[in-house]
Structure 1
């Protein structure tokens, strides 16, 4: 009987070890994600940062919002989230400014879905400062508050920092995820949007283990 119990425990231990090994080998650098060298500076040291590079006009980013939104509801306490609007061309800089303006004014939770819907469902290009101003005003933000934030040094500085982060991470498409400034995950390499988060969770755990 004792031998049977010991044998069972031994098999369970081997099985657990194999499962851990399989998990550790499940995602491979260069295949499922890329290493960023040198790493990008994180905003909140002391936490493991998950950043998303996105564009309001990207349909894939629009569908990913629901996925990442659910994930953020159960985000561990030792993890922080940062949105980084991608800027490939001039008009995208306006959209990046819209994101950071909403953040500065404390209306990001309201304006984020509004801007996504405007560009993806209502097919509004939001190609001018006036277009973006009108959208904010239509959703309860005063014209004065909008312009003060939108044209501020702080917002323009954040746009520049986001552009630098995307360049440093060698982002080529959206949505893309970045873990702790060290790893870049794209849907193309991860498999699909759900797999992007699985790879992110794996890398977050690796960062957690390396810190202990």
Structure 2
């Protein structure tokens, strides 16, 4: 927990500091000499297999992680760089909810369930805010179902049934396999294309994170 709290303070520091625009940062730093394997990012071997399509940025996170909540503005900026218009870069973002502790499991299941029910875009930010801004306590799926019903009109029984389904269980098991294969031991963590893991300890600002992540999405292009 000490490491997690230290990382939260580091993330908050990034978000408070003023930085140049993303485009200026990437243009100034996007060079081979700027980013070195073993220093600015780790190589994952064996890599998580790619489907051969667009490069993927995996974000490993938990709704229960304060640092992940603070990291959301960075993820929103990354997503704005991959939105498919002519000014964007060609990559996709896949979020992987992590249950580092048993009490985090309902929240990870909630992510997959909302995605499966087509409700994720509507609820994702609000669920984060409910936990970290409004200090709501969600200990069980039933607690979450009551809040979803009151806040978004989502049927409680349908949510709980889906959360306990084989489909969500399969997604949870795949997530655990990804965590093990890619060596995820802190949150949030980014992994690019299943083989490049930016080293947040060596990256001083949020634009450093954005710059190296965008750089790594193009590394094999």
Question: Which residue is equivalent to 1:178?
Answer: 191
**Among candidates 125, 128, 133, match of residue 137 of structure 2:** 125
SS at 2:218 equivalent: helix
Structure 1 gap segments, 5+ residues each: 1-18
**For residues 23-58 of structure 1, what are the alpha-carbon distances to aligned partners after superposition, in whole Å with 9 as ceiling and x for unaligned?**
10111111111111111134x541100110111122
The residue number in structure 2 matching 1:32 is 40
* 2:115 maps to 1:103: yes
Q: Which residue is 2:179 aligned to?
A: 166
After TM superposition, give the deviation of residue 78 of structure 1 in Å.
2.9
Post-superposition offset of 1:190: 2.8
Report the equivalent of 2:212: 199
Give the deviation of 1:206 after TM superposition.
0.8
The answer on whether the counterparts of 1:187 and 1:193 sit within 8 Å (CA) in structure 2 is no
Give aligned pairs, total: 189
Q: Aligned runs of 1:151-162 on 2, under 5 Å?
A: 151-162=164-175
Pair 87,186 (structure 1): closer, same or farther in 2 beyond 3 Å: farther
Pair 1:58-2:89 in alignment: no
Over 3 Å counting, the alpha-carbon distance change for 1:29 and 1:151 in structure 2 is same
- Give, in whole Å, the separation in 2 of the partners of 1:57 and 1:204: 28
Cα 1:88–1:148, aligned 2, differ >3 Å: closer, same or farther? same
Q: In the TM superposition, what whole-angstrom CA distance separates every residue of 1:53-76 from its partner, at most 9, and x where no partner exists?
A: 111122221121122112212314
Which of structures 1 and 2 has the larger relative contact order (alpha carbons within 8 angstroms, sep 6+)?
2
Please tell me whether the aligned partners of residues 58 and 174 of structure 1 are also in contact (alpha carbons under 8 angstroms). yes
Quick check: which has more Rg, 1 or 2? Answer: 1
RMSD of the alignment, in Å? 2.1
Normalising by structure 2, what TM-score?
A: 0.78
Q: 1:186 to 1:127 in 2, by over 3 A?
A: farther
Q: Which runs of 5+ in 2 are unaligned?
A: 1-26, 83-87
Cα distance in 2 between the residues matched to 1:207 and 1:93: 35
- C-alpha separation in 1, matches of 2:28 and 2:146: 53
Which residue is equivalent to 2:85? none
Instruction: Pick the structure with more helix per residue.
Output: 1
